[in-house]
Amino acid sequence: MEIRQLEYFMEICHELHFTRASEKLGVTQPTLSHQIKALEDELGLPLFDRIGKKIAITEAGFILLKHCQTVFHSLESVREEIQELQEIKRGRLAVGVLPGELNSLVCRLLPDFHDAYSEVQVRIITADNVAERLLHNEIDLALTITPVHDERIDSQPLYDDVLYLVVNADHPLAERTQVSLGDLKDISLVLFPENYQCRQQIDAICSLRNIHIRPAIETDSIETIISLIEAGVGGSILSETLIKQWNRPGIRTLSIEEAPFSRQVGLIYHKEKYRGQTVLKFTELLQEQIRKLGLSN
């Protein structure tokens, strides 16, 4: 049973005349008759009684007509809803993001995204395994450290993120612009927990240089880290992403020499998943947010 056959059937029901229906449909009468005959053969019952030059809808025809009206109403609803998706008047968006500063970066743009597309339901999923979530189709895209080495995933680099030593303006090191990697072991540090990627990077680099740092305080709260630094409780190693988001005047930023304390931040997508307008607009707003913060390459 084809949609075209059902369209032909409904037009005949409307006109109750094969010739007029064929003219309306722009097909020949033999073609129309052949399609209706094929439909009747498939259903096993006649759809029309042919009495002389007149036709009448049979009981089977009325049953089919009722369901055809439902089908075509549903198809019209599909078109309307898909059009609304194209115009971003509805829909859902699931965004994966690493915990910490990248999560904060995404959350900053949510008010603007909601103002522009208030009917879109947004879910932010904070997780260390965002690539795995993407592959299981739990999210539409993710902001993470790139590249991700999986042939099923596309990466879109956004900017290079540098890690700095951050201290209070009254700290003994505050007047310097740079510290050595060895200086870190003598500083009371407030750091993210070991499961955070930035912490893992710090630990890996220090381990390669045979430098072992022991944080005085570990916390997953960005607000707590900033507050402790402002209060003069040691220092922290934070990303440029986080520093530019908070931009506190009482904090000094020092580069760390002798170490590749940088990483590439980017978006990842499943290669086989369609990227609709909602994903594209979210990406555009994120890129604009990054430019405003001065994080673009």
The answer, yes or no, to whether residue 255 has pLDDT greater than 70, is yes
Lowest mean pLDDT among 1-15, 222-236, 248-262: 248-262
The answer, yes or no, to whether residue 247 has pLDDT greater than 90, is no
The answer, yes or no, to whether residue 296 has pLDDT greater than 70, is no
The answer, yes or no, to whether residue 89 has pLDDT greater than 80, is no
The answer, yes or no, to whether residue 160 has pLDDT greater than 90, is yes
The answer, yes or no, to whether residue 248 has pLDDT greater than 90, is no
pLDDT over 90 percentage in the chain: 64
State pLDDT tens for residues 109-121: 999 999 999 888 9
Confidence class for position 92, pLDDT limits 50, 70, 90:
confident
Confidence class for position 102, pLDDT limits 50, 70, 90:
very high
State pLDDT tens for residues 164-200: 999 999 999 999 999 998 888 889 999 999 988 888 8
For range 146-175, the mean pLDDT: 93
For range 210-225, the mean pLDDT: 91
The answer, yes or no, to whether residue 263 has pLDDT greater than 80, is yes
State pLDDT tens for residues 56-79: 999 999 999 999 988 888 888 788
Confidence class for position 297, pLDDT limits 50, 70, 90:
low
pLDDT at 274: 83
The answer, yes or no, to whether residue 83 has pLDDT greater than 80, is no
pLDDT at 259: 64
User: Read out DSSP for the chain?
Assistant: --HHHHHHHHHHHHHS-HHHHHHHHTS-HHHHHHHHHHHHHHHTS-SEEEETTEEEE-HHHHHHHHHHHHHHHHHHHHHHHHHHHHTTSS-EEEEEE-TTHHHHHHHHHHHHHHHH-TTSEEEEEE-S-HHHHHHTTS-SEEEEEE----TTEEEEEEEEEEEEEEEETTSTTTT-SEE-GGGGGGS-BEE--TTSHHHHHHHHHHHHTT-----SEE-S-HHHHHHHHHTTS-EEEEEHHHHHHH--TTEEEEEETTS--EEEEEEEEETTS---HHHHHHHHHHHHHHHHTT---
For range 18-31, the mean pLDDT: 91
